[in-house]
Every structure is written in structure tokens, then in C-alpha cells.
Amino acid sequence: MTASTVQANALDDARVQLAEAVAVLGYPEGLHRILGAARRETTVSVPLVRDNGDVEVFTGYRVQHSIARGPAKGGIRYSSEVNLDEVRALAMWMTWKCALLDIPYGGAKGGVDVDPRTLSPAELERLTRTYTQGISPVIGPDNDIPAPDVGTDEQTMAWMMDAYSATRGRGVPGVVTGKPLDLGGSLGRRTSTSRGVAHISLLALAKEGIAPSSATAVVQGYGKVGADAADYLAEAGVRIISVSDRFGAVHNTDGLDLSRLRAHSEERGTVAAFGGGLPIDPAAVLELDVDLLVPAAVEGVVNADNASRVCARIIVEGANGPTTAEADKILERSGVLVVPDILANAGGVVVSYFEWVQAQQGYWWTLSDVERGLDDRMTAAWSSVLDQAATTGSTLRRAAMALAVGRVARAHRARGLTH
């Protein structure tokens, strides 16, 4: 499956999930169209003068799917696979994620079609500032708040905040989240998505009657989310037997030494050739016989081609859209418990919300305050989804989507945007 096919499927999958929720909720076609349409789509040219004087022109995007429940919120992705359809899908999923966690945001997403590994730090800064200038008319602390995503980090957010602030003539720390602590970032933000994934994973294991000390797990995508999620799970007693990244994978049935693995990955830039386990085909990691599978990389990795070979009892979606609609049906027939992305990986947007609140108030919380608030929000959302699934006899994804879409629809109706 090619990258373009995965991206196209991501938007198709997002639309299928919405259509199923609309059918469950009994909404009319007009409301369905409103819920499925992005409020604003912005495409900008991003010229970059390379260090050698050459000029390249990249394309940047910012899609605001909804502002019915509050300002738009969503990450910025730097990847050569970014395109408008991918950003549309990710923005829509952000809308449902924020609604499900009862955060007063709508959904947005952005990105630039560039491989950040090919740029020097100076080039990345120039690219980020130019992109920020291009989208500055549509972002801001009261209307659209970006955050880090694939290929971006807290340094990217610092450059974005500075570039946006320059256009306003004052410091505007609330324009982005995921910033460095010295610029108004929040304690606990860097690992918040990972912590949320691990927290939900442990709740899912408990639901299935599996003790962490006897559980085995695989993390597909040992990166920004997957590495810390693996550490959190291991701290709880889960045995991580295999991890993968885009360059390779490693397997050890006795459990990987995660401290050594992290050191190796940071030094080499990959888990490949790690001496604490055997090399394995990265695709095979998804099919290992484990209690828990955490796909934490990109969209569409569990699909119609491999879903029937997935042996995990539980899938907790650390990435956005890692399971296609076709795979969902196969996994449901196989009895695999799939915890959807809009619940499982919502920890990042929860703590982004906390960071935004702190910036608006000019008052910063302790790490224990942040982590306690994150755990409480994730547990409450998990309980709501479980109750909805039990009441309706549906999968966790359908239950989560029905709850989220229902909240957004009620906001539209309350604002008088539909009947």
C-alpha cells in the first residue's frame, strides 16, 4: 500500500466513521453534511532559501474542521507524505477527540510537505517562520492553536510562537501549545500522549481480566509517542517484547531492556541492530501473539491485507487512524478489542488544553496537578465509552464516535447553525 493510498484511505475512513455515527444517531442528511465539511482550508506556498543559496518551494496546509465547541486545535506535521486529504482527515478526527474528552475545542490540523531530516536546523527555522507567516491570519489563541505532531517538536513551537508574536507586536504564548517550559510550556506536556496511551492500555487490560505483570505487548512506532508509552507500560509491569520504527524492528520474548534500547535508538536514530534482541521484519511486529498491540506511528498500518493475521487481544491506537475501516470489520469478527484513537491518544490534546489555560491565566501548575488532571480526564472518557458501548451493543469506536459526534451536533444546534 503506497503512502498516497494510505492518505486517501484515511479521509475515506474518517468519512465512513462519521456516516456510521450519523446513522446511529438518526441525524438528517443536512446535518451530516455540516458535520463532515471543514469550516476553513488554507493552502500556502512555503519558499525556503537553503543554506547553499538554492531556493525550494514547499506547500503548507492548515485545515480547521470545526469551531462549534470552541477554538480549533491540532498539530503541525512535517512529512514528505503530507497532503490536503491527510490533513482533512486528521482535522476531523481532532474534532471528535476534543468532543469525546469534553474539551472546549474544535478540530484542526496542519502540515508542510517536507522531510525535516533533509533540512539543517537553520533551514527548519526559516521554513517554520515562513509557514507561520503564511497561516498567521487564521491561527491565534482564541481561534486556532497549533501543537507538535510528526516531524515537529517544542523547538518548532517556539519558532512558531515567536513568528506569530512578531506579527502582533507582543508576546502571545497561547498561540501554540507544546512549547518549551521557558516560553510558557506545561510540565507533563511532552509525554502526555504517551502517558494517556499507557493509562488507557492498562484500563483495557483490566477490562479483559489481564494483569499487567502477566501481559505482553508490542509497540509499532518507537518514536515520540511509542517510546515513552513503552516505558510507562513497562513501569506498570507489562513485558514489551517487540518494537519497530521505519528502519527496522527488534524482538525479545523475555522482554526488551528499554533503557538500553532508548540509548541505542537515541545514538543510532533507529531500533535496528539493537543487541538486546533479534531483528524482525517491521511488518511482522503487527502480527505477533501478544496481549496488547500499540500502533503508534502513522495511519493505515492495520488494514485489509494484514488484519486477519493480527493476534493481539487488544489494540490501543497510539497513532491517528492506524486501523482502516476494512480492518475494523475483520478485527470485530475476530473478537479483538480495539480502543480508538480519539480516546486512546487524547492525552496530548488534554494537556495542550491545560497548557493553553495556564497561558491564559498566567499561572502554571505542578506536574502532579497536570498528571492527575490527565488521568482523571482519560478515565472519565473511558468510562463513558464503555457505558455507551454496553448500552448500544456496539464496538468502542462506534460508541466513542456516537458520543463525540453527538456533542458536536448539539453545539451546532445550540448555536443555531442547524435544526
Q: What is the pLDDT along the chain (419 residues), one digit of tens a residue?
A: 444 344 447 899 899 999 999 999 999 999 999 999 999 999 999 999 999 999 999 999 999 999 999 999 999 999 999 999 999 999 999 999 999 999 999 999 999 999 999 999 999 999 999 999 999 999 999 999 999 998 999 999 999 999 999 999 999 989 999 999 999 999 999 999 999 999 999 999 999 999 999 999 999 999 989 999 999 999 999 999 999 998 999 999 999 999 999 999 999 999 999 999 999 999 999 999 999 999 998 888 999 999 999 999 999 999 988 999 899 999 999 999 999 999 999 999 999 999 999 988 888 999 999 999 999 999 999 999 999 999 999 999 999 999 999 999 999 999 887 65
Report the alpha-carbon angle 21-76-105, nearest 5.
45
What the chain holds in terms of domains, given with CATH numbers, is 39-173 (3.40.50.10860), 192-344 (3.40.50.720)
Instruction: Give me the catalytic one of 73, 97, 109, 224.
Output: 109
Report the alpha-carbon angle 35-36-37, nearest 5.
100
Question: Catalytic annotation on 329?
Answer: no
